[in-house]
Amino acid sequence: MIQSLKLRNFRNFSDAHFFPLEEKNFIIWENGQGKTNILEALSVIFDHSITWLSSENLVKKGEQNLYIEVEDSEIWTLSFAYDHETKKKQYRINWKNIIRKKFLDHTYKCVVFSPLQMNLMYLAPGLRRDFLDTILGNSYPEYGELMKQYKKILKSRNKTLKNIAEWKSKVSELDFWTDQFIELSENIYHYRFTLCNYFKKHIHTSLEYFHGKIETIEFHYNCKVQESSVWEDIRNYLEKNLQRDIILWTTAIGPHVDDFDILVDDRKLIDFASRGETKSVIIWLKLLETVYLEKRTWKKPLLLIDDLLSELDIWHKNMLIEKIKYYQTFISSIEHLEQNGMVIKL
């Protein structure tokens, strides 16, 4: 468990020390006072940014560098520093420099609950793919590198399709990129199906949110391949749609175009449920993510809940607090529930 957090020149904090931290930590104040910045600092040092800002935009205005330090109950001191002028990042464990990969091996994983994610089912498919890929990247160290290679090969294949359409390349030149694309896709689908099958198996536990109004709830991963025949399905699809892909300069199959739906009584969640009920199911997905991460990493993740309580009624607030009681949690809000824990007022 994290016991303290120090910030120097991070966003709106010049020099701040939060101690002692507890299992539940409530960051309370009005909007615009830096509540999310505390969560962002925790997510940055643990390699899971909430705001997706670049390191240089995290440095306090007018300063050259930033510094984040946490101490945990295992007597580890973990720190991250960034210099705006040199663009260099520095990772340390117990004040000794260490490479990023080894640093991340000793750090915590984070599960982020944010207002944006509460609209997960309403927004573009890319957000839902990012949701899956973030979980997999946190669960399996090799997955992030697989996705980098996949995007690189996909870009090269699409560029070759464009060159063929413009008579700058021969169709035979596509074979190399197609073989690479199928191989990487097959590897990525192994992880995707593992995670999606987990959601399929456990999503029914969210039925309690509906108070008996529905009988079934299902998680559906929407893709153009079958788990048992990924290689064959992609190969056959690409061969069948070759001319269309050349005309459109695009590869229309693969993990980059997939999506998922949640069905309640055989209807899409967003077509049936209220926004409150939909948010409740998304919260349940995040709780399932938490359990999945714990099982894969053998370590309890941190829960970072950003300005979410104000969007829930009292029943759902209390249920969320009850479900997360076994994890160290940081909750930013303009209001405070009557719960035990550290209260940080900015």
Mean pLDDT along residues 103-109: 85
Residue 331 vs residues 234, 291, 304, 317, 341: alpha-carbon distances, Å: 43, 19, 6, 12, 10
Mean pLDDT along residues 249-278: 92
pLDDT over 70 at 337, yes or no: no
Count the neighbouring beta carbons within 10 Å of the beta carbon of residue 169.
Answer: 15
CA 186/CA 74 separation, integer angstroms = 39
Q: What is the pLDDT of residues 93-102, one digit of tens each?
A: 999 999 988 8
* Confidence grade of residue 136 (pLDDT, cut at 50, 70, 90): very high
Return the exposure string of 122-151: e unless at least 16 CB atoms fall within 10 Å of the residue's CB, then b. eeeeeebbebbbbbbbbbbeebeebbeebe
Between 29-33, 135-139, 276-280, the lowest mean confidence (pLDDT) is in: 29-33
Q: Which two tokens stand for residue 59?
A: 């440095």
pLDDT over 90 at 306, yes or no: no
Specify the pLDDT at position 141: 87
Which stretch, 97-106, 118-127, 227-236, has highest mean pLDDT? Answer: 227-236
Higher-pLDDT residue of 297 and 47 is 297
List the domain boundaries for the chain: 2-108+299-345, 125-272
Residue 280 vs residues 79, 182, 185: alpha-carbon distances, Å: 35, 37, 32
Q: Compute the mean pLDDT over every residue in the chain, rounded to the nearest whole number.
A: 90
* Contacts (Cβ under 8 Å, ≥6 apart) of 163: 169, 173
For the chain, give percent helix, strand, coil, nearest 5: 50, 20, 30
The sheet carrying 342-345 orders its strands as 110-113, 302-306, 329-333, 24-28, 342-345
pLDDT over 80 at 314, yes or no: no
Specify the pLDDT at position 339: 60
CA 282/CA 288 separation, integer angstroms = 10
Specify the pLDDT at position 206: 87
Q: SS3 for 79?
A: strand
CA 80/CA 231 separation, integer angstroms = 42
Specify the pLDDT at position 188: 98
CB 71 within 8 A of CB 3: yes
CB 131 within 8 A of CB 192: no
pLDDT over 90 at 336, yes or no: no
Mean pLDDT along residues 70-77: 86
Q: One-letter amino acid identity for 250?
A: T
Residue 188 exposure: Cα atoms within 13 Å on the Cβ side: 27
Specify the pLDDT at position 338: 56
Place of tokens 């009584």: 265
Specify the pLDDT at position 32: 63
Specify the pLDDT at position 342: 64
Q: Looking at the domain covering 2-108+299-345, what would its CATH class be?
A: alpha beta
Helical residues (DSSP H) of the chain, grouped into ranges:
35-45, 100-105, 125-139, 141-165, 174-202, 230-240, 242-248, 269-272, 275-297, 314-323
Q: Give percent above pLDDT 90 in the chain.
A: 63
Equal CATH topology for 2-108+299-345 and 125-272:
no
**pTM of full prediction above 0.85:** yes
Strand partners of residue 6: 17, 69
Q: Give percent above pLDDT 70 in the chain.
A: 94
CB 294 within 8 A of CB 322: no
Q: What is the pLDDT of residues 193-228, one digit of tens each?
A: 999 999 999 999 888 777 778 899 999 999 999 999
Q: Looking at the domain covering 125-272, what would its CATH class be?
A: mainly alpha
Count, in order, helices (H) and strands (E) of the chain. Answer: 10, 14
Between 8-17, 86-95, 107-116, 241-250, the lowest mean confidence (pLDDT) is in: 107-116
Specify the pLDDT at position 107: 84
Count the neighbouring beta carbons within 10 Å of the beta carbon of residue 32.
Answer: 8
Nearest to 286 by CA among 234, 336, 236, 323: 323
Q: What is the pLDDT of residues 237-262, one digit of tens each?
A: 999 999 999 999 999 999 999 999 99
Specify the pLDDT at position 27: 87
Between 45-59, 147-161, 273-287, 308-322, the lowest mean confidence (pLDDT) is in: 308-322
* Confidence grade of residue 313 (pLDDT, cut at 50, 70, 90): confident
Burial class (CB in 10 A: 0-12, 13-18, 19+), 163: middle
Burial class (CB in 10 A: 0-12, 13-18, 19+), 289: buried
Place of tokens 């969320």: 320
